[in-house]
Amino acid sequence: MTSEIGRSARDTPHVVIHVITRLDQGGSAQNTMLTALGHDRSCFTPTVVGGSAGRWVAQGGDAATVENVSRLEAAGVRWVLIDSLTRSVHPIHDLHALYQLVQLFHRERPSIVHTHTSKAGVLGRLAAWMTRVPIVVHTPHGHVFYGHFGRLMSVMFLWIERLMAHVTTCMIALTEAERDEHLQRNVGKAERFDVIPSGIELATFRKRSEQRPGHSDPIQRPDGTVVIGTVGWLTPIKGHRFLIEALARLKPTYPHLYCVIVGSGPLHQTLESMAASLGLQESLRLMGHRDDIPACLSAIDIFAFPSLNEGMGRALIEAMAMGLPVIASRVGGIPALVEHGVNGLLVPSGDSTALSAAIAELLDQPNQARVMGDMARKRIDDTFSDTEMVCAIERVYHRVLAKPASS
């Protein structure tokens, strides 16, 4: 196969194929979308490959997929949906998805295959290795080494990731902590890692933060309430039950406390029942999937992020960009964003007592909360913009493309 590695940016653009399991409204999918839409077309011609949402209704489901492919079409970015590329492990579907990826890579002969998240990362990198794609880049968007599955499944994924690292040219972590967690588990080599924060449409959130207060109220908060809020799909890894437990602890002392959880997912009914059993029906609102996240954040007073495992936390970045005081779990890449006592508060994951104490601290010291919110806004500088993210990723592409094929 003829190598395209030696071409200059002035020649025919390099074909880049991005592979991700779901094109929904989740952080990893939005990261992938912003990358593909932001590519310098004089250097790179992107194609986005996604799977079918199927029964997965969280984060927009099929409707989000339709919306995202419409955005790609409007921008002139090619896209391919592979129905058998699903989040869950299914040997027959996985083999069919692998076959379709191999066929696609044979046909398109990309210079770069860039995979995103664990499942797409395994199948996409394997297909790229089978078709001798010159450059293979992988962004884990966190990891599944703990918190997502049982011990046996977690160990299996760890060994798979160790093997796949050998056929990966470069890995992109969202934070140094995410990179370090891979290296500590012998996944990849330090010289093959780059750290690039996940970008957001920063201008949108900055503009919305300037409109506070006096904003519209999409959450329809009851009069006189203080609103604790969070954004994330309703699955165990996001730790919403600990936020509900914290709310139950706080209500006797802070009767005007109100909580909103923005996001959809399989735990909706479970969390609703839990709130009812704790007598919180009038103090908690599960808002489901929303497309107006900046408006929702502008109606929140304190942002809580009780995840059990988090690569970086796109919703956390957005809340900080809005200037909200934040309380987050001390896991994954979160401590790289939140400096305890300076631009937010950190608590142990899975600890509703510590979470309730942190919320009470900000409720009792509103001036401190305001200062932390201002510091949070300053922390989310231009390095977290979608434009800077794409530029950083393309610098990685140019660097690995410039290396001799044998290196």
Q: Please report, for the chain, the start and end positions of each structural domain, with discontinuous segments joined by +.
A: 14-199+385-402, 202-383
Query: Strand (E) positions, 4-120?
Result: 14-22, 44-51, 78-82, 112-116
For residue 298, what are the CA distances in angstroms to 160, 220, 234, 327, 328?
42, 12, 21, 16, 18
Is 60 exceeded by the pLDDT of residue 29? yes
Q: Which pLDDT does position 1 carry in this prediction?
A: 29
Measured distance CA(383)–CA(335) in Å, rounded: 17
CB atoms within 10 A of CB 333: 25
Q: What are phi and psi of 147, to 5 degrees?
A: 95, -30
Superfamily of domain 14-199+385-402: Glycogen Phosphorylase B; (3.40.50.2000)
> Quick check: do 14-199+385-402 and 202-383 share a fold?
yes
Percent of the chain exceeding pLDDT 90 equals 69
pTM for this predicted structure: 0.83
pLDDT of amino acid 147:
53
With a cut of 70, say whether residue 24 has pLDDT above it. yes
CATH 3.40.50.2000 fits 202-383, yes or no: yes
- Two tokens, residue 59: 């984060």
Half-sphere exposure (Cβ direction) of 173: Cα atoms closer than 13 Å: 25
- Structural Rg of the chain based on CA atoms: 21
**What distance lies between CA 64 and its chain's CA centroid?**
15
Q: Phi and psi of 241, rounded to 5°?
A: -65, -30
Running DSSP on this structure, what letter comes out for residue 47?
A: E
Beta bridge partners of 138: 115, 171
